[in-house]
Structure 1
Amino acid sequence: MKILVIGAGAWGTALAMHAAARHSVQLWARDAQQASQLHTSRENQRYLPGIRLPDALEVCSGDLQPLVAQAELIVLGTPMAALRGGLTMLRDCQVPVAWLSKGFEAVAPDAPTGSHGLLGNEVCAQVAPHLHAGMLSGPSFAQEVAQHQPTALVAASRHADVRDALVAAFHGDNLRVYANDDISGVEVGGAVKNVLAIATGLCDGLSLGLNARAALVTRGLAEMTRLGVALGAQTDTFMGLSGLGDLVLTATGDLSRNRKIGLLLAQGQSLEQAVQSLGHVAEGVYSARTVLQRAQKLGVEMPITAAVVALLGGSMSARDVVQALMEREPRAE
């Protein structure tokens, strides 16, 4: 299979490395200088330092159209903010397309009052309604995939040919890929878990204990499920890899950038300082407000998400967030 991965960040690079063992893979970098560095050093020094790119992986830059024309599967490894542009570019593509982006699209500053952010599949329905597309998600750190450590992912799409292509491309030694047709549920899990991981990092950074962490993860899963069901997702999806699995990994794993944000905020750093210290995108920082806006429009209560938004916006301190959550009125689980 000829696979084109657009975007040479950590996750795009890791998946391209994995697939290159069995397929013809081209990894496209927007920055020509980065592409040259990757090609020459055979290492993504910024995102995956110390891990050698396989010799079979072709790194390229420049004009995308000839590469798109030859591909049998196209994977968009870009941040959520770039997904609309990527899908627009590929709207007439005749082969399966998948994205790796997790989150809700941010609402533009000049958008009409009441506008809300969209999931990736909703963006696709707007700009490329005839495209056979989906996403690859699940509990995974790029570094571990690049190091060939065991991982399980979910190929989500309403189109069977997209699910089949993703399984054929990436299922193999050390990486299992499960198919799921509930793309809304998979996407909600991938978006909300980043916000909840910030809350869990805050909890750990304040040394509130393992009881508090377990409560946050569990109640966070309930929030995630409520929002997903309101968007038409299946409840069972949130008990799987892209729901509970991704939440547990991102909320507790030391490689989680979103958890790290919570830890740094608990230490007294400003949001700007915390983000700058990472050097990578922490999607939860940018999607928290959008998640809350979507929930409020649907009448879905998400108190942990609301507390994270207040913390990131500076209207509540770390200690105030904890106190506000603990002082909520009692209710049935």
Structure 2
Amino acid sequence: MCRVVDLRQAVLAKNDGAAQALRDELTARGTTVVNLLSSPGSGKTALLERELLLARERAVPVAALTADLATENDALRLARSGVPVKQVLTDGLCHLEAGMLGRHLDGWLPEDTRLLFVENVGNLVCPAGYDLGESLRVVLASVTEGEDKPLKYPTAFGLAQLVVVTKTDIAQAVEFDEAAFRANVERVNPGVEIVMTSARKGEGLGLLLDRALAAGTGAGTHTPVMARRQPATGHDHGAGHDHGAGHDHGPRHDHGHGHDHGHLHGHGHGADHGSDHHHHHGPGHAHDRTPASGADHEHDHDRGHDHEHPQVQPAAQTR
């Protein structure tokens, strides 16, 4: 008799195991991981830079790892805060995975790090399904993205433990309807906290840092309803539908057969097709280099070959 194996489920189950092992290891050493997800251009790098600076002022030991398909731009910006920063280039992979994160932290993350902010690849589809061993999952959306964003990406917003709205300084100019946005978030993730921020004006500055520190103690961390509705088969059937036989992995396990289906391809060709739709690059190799800014830089293709590269000079920031 032929047995059908769900390859995606197997891949995610392996990731979940690696994520829990990483979470246990980091928790034991007093490090809290914060996973930041958003669309490209949401302003999460600008906000994170301000939060890192504030953490340094408060003498909170922090570090940041940022992932992109290409360029070191985000790491160079974040490194200006003076905290340890590493850039990971995925070369087409649309998300980070727990095993990948663990390899990049090995030998790099300072032992006394209290908070590790992970700036995931910029899209709201692929990263939503992968637990990174985080203690706090944050989804960010700018006021320019539309009030219906949570309804378009119910898995990402439905599994968030904190929702951050960015660029509020231009909310009036773009006619952002905050009440409608809040109502839509409530539909997919009842009870999740929503904070309003502006990196430019300083509105809400420090709230992300405060929530991250609280998550490290387990104080008041939100558990999304969707996380409690994961069926035993490991498939996510979207927000608001309980298919029974579930198990609670926390807000980090979407197994991707809900509204966001069809955007993750197990053996793609590394091309970025835009609109939050990317291909899984598959096996490859890792490269290390340390730019003059102090930010580490790596490519990740999962084959473990390390090659040194010339130092990269920091680029001027474009605001």
With structure 2 as the length reference, what TM-score do the two structures score? Answer: 0.31
Greater fraction of residues in helix: 1
Q: Who wins on radius of gyration, i.e. which is larger?
A: 1
The structure, 1 or 2, with the larger RCO (C-alpha pairs under 8 Å, 6+ apart) is 2
